A = this chain, B = another copy of it.
């Protein structure tokens, strides 16, 4: 089988160094950032290894990663304290001895003096690097960026502090990589679906997947990935290879075919969130939106306002957690609450019309349900949620029965509410 990595003349691996990552104290976001930015520029990360701040682990890790790659990027362990051993491990691996790098020393001295900090022997230690390394000045911090190159195996070190690492990757390392190595052409197309399970999508896309697989040659590789998230599935088409023209044409063709087959489930493409997609629809109609939430407690409103520019269409919400707020602020009739309960089609209907009236919007969404863990009854078990969407002339309500935990029931309610509004706007 054709290996995508054959095309890129260089395979890159990541070595993430840090006890605090293995212990779970710190979430590593560096590897994700590096992978994303390199991938967008045509490089492939083929492996990622995390080890502790121990020389042996670092050296063993380098040996393992070099079995399948020619270039390693490391993060972490470059500080001035006892836990920081990366420099020494690299010196053991690549050889040489510790020498004071004059450029580093001058840079660090000036930096500390400018900040009114003491220049001491730790500073000189920070300026000492293995003689086997080329040093690049880290203009946003104090850790040395070192570049090693032996027998066509290369390694570059980066600090673990995220804002330093991000700056250095973008401004120092990436330009050098682009200058030195040719890369494959990579293209992704993402199709975002909602309210359809992954297995159903896989079933209806079976023929397209077969066509994608059949198109793989020794020069160009293709793949369709399924990325599920609560209530939603992202479909990601990938083409990687030599022929930019062919890859672009193929991905456009398959994207069109997938669109035709799954159209009713698609809410957007690329990075567009569901809230953003719904916002676009509202703006297109110059419409406004008001919301009444009960069990979701503000989460749907929060999602709506997470889309940039939501103030153009979103006017506000009433979070009617208590019974009286439903009557006093939304005008839900006491009689309705007493006869049918808060979690009912009738109450949901009145919440929709109440919202339209009070907030004076084009559309309204209302959610009333039992998110859990408590509050369920045999008639209305935990996860029972009524969602309503409406405008001045019509309201549609639908009952859902979610079976997850509280947080997920709330998230699912918000996702399905946005989807109901999406479908409602498209035809009304």
Q: Does A319 contact B (CB under 8 A)?
A: yes
Pairwise interchain contact A316-B319, C-beta atoms closer than 8 A: yes
Instruction: List CB contacts (< 8 Å) of A346-395 with chain B.
Output: 358-360, 373-374
Q: Could you name 22 residue pairs across A and B whose Cβ atoms are closer than 8 Å? A: A21-B35, A21-B48, A22-B45, A23-B36, A23-B44, A24-B37, A27-B29, A28-B31, A47-B52, A47-B57, A57-B68, A83-B223, A83-B226, A117-B197, A117-B200, A163-B404, A298-B302, A308-B373, A310-B321, A318-B319, A328-B360, A329-B359
Pairwise interchain contact B45-A24, C-beta atoms closer than 8 A: yes
Which range holds the interface residue count of chain A? Answer: 35 or more
Q: Does A113 contact B (CB under 8 A)?
A: no
Instruction: Decide yes or no: A324 and B209 within 8 Å by CB, A22-B45, A24-B39, A123-B199 being known contacts.
Output: no
State in angstroms the CA–CA spacing of A318 and B38 once bound together: 41
- Pick the contact of A322 from B64, B81, B140, B311 — CB < 8 Å? B311
Contacts of A28 in B (CB 8 A): 28, 31-32
Contacts of A236 in B (CB 8 A): 20, 25
Identify the A interface with B (CB < 8 A): 16, 19-29, 31-40, 44-52, 57, 60-61, 64, 67-68, 79-83, 115, 117-118, 120, 122-123, 126, 140, 142, 161, 163, 167, 188, 197-200, 202-203, 209, 213, 223-228, 230, 236, 238, 288, 291, 293, 297-302, 304-306, 308-311, 314-322, 324-325, 328-329, 358-360, 373-374, 404-405, 407-408
Question: Smallest CB-CB separation from A307: which chain B residue?
Answer: B297
Pairwise interchain contact B325-A407, C-beta atoms closer than 8 A: no
